[in-house]
Amino acid sequence: MGNQALSFILQEAEGASLQRKAEIVWRLSVPGILAQISEIIMEYIDSAMVGSLGAAASASIGLVASSTWLVGGIVMSTAAGFNVQIAHAAGAEDPEEARRTLGCGVICSLILSLVLCAVAAALSPSLPVWLGGAPDVCRMASSYFGIYAAFLPVRMMFFLHTGAMQCTGDMKTPSLLTASACGLDIFFNLLLIFPGRRLGALWLPGAGLGVAGASLGTQLSFAVMTIPAVWHTWHSSPVLSGLTPQTFRVRRRILREAVRIGGPMALAQSAMSGAQVFSTHIVAPLGTESLAANSFAVTAEALCYMPGYGIGQAATTLVGQAYGARLKELARSFAWLTTLMSMAIMAGTGVLMYFLCPFVFDFLTPVQTVRDLGVRVLRIELLAEPLFAVSITGAGALRGAGDTLIPELMNLVGIWGVRIPLASYLAPRLGLAGVWTAMCTDLVFRGVLFLIRLKRERWLHL
């Protein structure tokens, strides 16, 4: 959907019925939800492939998962700092400003991602040891994280360009690119994780890299799909195409605004992911099976919250463009509508997962003790799904208006003030169930804070 089409939708939505606005939200959300489903399927298949190698292999990925979230959060926050400005420029029908913002974003993002790459690669040998993993787990975890670090500039360019397309109203192309990356990931994993083997009369080649192959397969899939993402943005986007060498300049005004929007997100994501790292440090002493069950439960839960992130992407686009067009009543309406829709849908996915999770864990791992523990802890957290939806989609709506500082502070209060202290207290007494009880409490607490933030509406008058 090009910017002209989206501008027409905003004009039509102003003063439209609730049903018509819901149709607009849903139409923009579906591509994002489908992309999220593709990613979840990829995570499920990845986990199942690695899970077939044993509990230690699964635990190695779980050990550094929070660290990859830490670095990935910085990548996503940096991209958001520029993409929200692109949404505002598109809403104000100023394509030249949108292109200037993208060009500045490309230069700044490349510089930052190269720094992150160097730092993460240097930390990869010692990070799993500090997190408390067993020696065999640490060796595999180190290789997994080191490969992830090497491809950070590629991931940065992928998320910057797909996010830019979304913020101009093109939800379908980024979704197609993400789904294609997921398909490639499965293909590369089959070639890289397992050794060559015979399947009946057919010989299947394989590198036999194990956990390292899982990481390399995922990163190669993003590397391949970054090429069409950049090409489409620069040459086919109705708003962003037509970039010139002069476009790629660091402009202080754009960089300053990117820091204002993305800076709080990056700092908060770093602190939150640091808390996730600390949580892993709490889980690791519980044993390899608890670490593996924790990793699988996180993967299984993703199926529940993927609609929230899909609708959240639509919320950022709709609120951002309405805000840029100075249609504040429309921005308010879209913020509440997307949040309430997300709550209803995630409540439904939570109920479904409560009954389906035993079958999901049967698919993810052959280890019965890991299955049983994963099902038990996941069912604790599913109680929080509706309010978890508020913190996901509500944050997307607030981000569209450029409101990132207070929401990210609320996230920090929840994870550092509620989850970590409560998990530290409950883990020695209840084991992994105590950690997930703390997680559930934190998500409910943050959901309530986001509802209050939306209700007070200070974000409309920044």
Q: Determine the distance from the C-alpha atom of residue 315 to the mean position of all C-alpha atoms in its chain, rounded to a whole number.
A: 15
Better-scored residue on pLDDT, 260 or 42:
260
User: With 90 as the cut, is the pLDDT of residue 325 above it?
Assistant: no
- Rounded CA separation 401/327 (Å): 11
Average pLDDT of the chain to the nearest whole number: 86
Contacts 24+ apart (CB under 8 A), 191-200: 191/217, 192/216, 192/217, 193/49, 193/50, 193/53, 193/217, 194/49
Q: How much is the pLDDT for 42?
A: 67
Say if CB 410 and CB 272 are below 8 A apart: no
What is the average per-residue pLDDT within 219-234? 95
Say if CB 90 and CB 6 are below 8 A apart: yes
Better-scored residue on pLDDT, 186 or 66:
186
What is the average per-residue pLDDT within 298-319? 86
pLDDT for 4-47, tens place per residue? 445 545 655 666 677 777 877 887 777 777 776 776 676 667 66
- Rounded CA separation 249/252 (Å): 9
Q: Which tokens hold the place of 431?
A: 């084991």
Q: How much is the pLDDT for 24?
A: 76
- Rounded CA separation 291/132 (Å): 11
User: With 90 as the cut, is the pLDDT of residue 336 above it?
Assistant: yes
pLDDT for 380-403, tens place per residue? 999 999 999 999 999 999 998 888
- Rounded CA separation 32/433 (Å): 32
Residues 6+ apart with CB under 8 A from 360: 44, 300, 303, 353
pTM: 0.74
Give the HSE-up count for residue 106: Cα atoms under 13 Å, Cβ half-sphere: 21
Residues 6+ apart with CB under 8 A from 379: 354, 357
Domain boundaries, the chain: 3-461
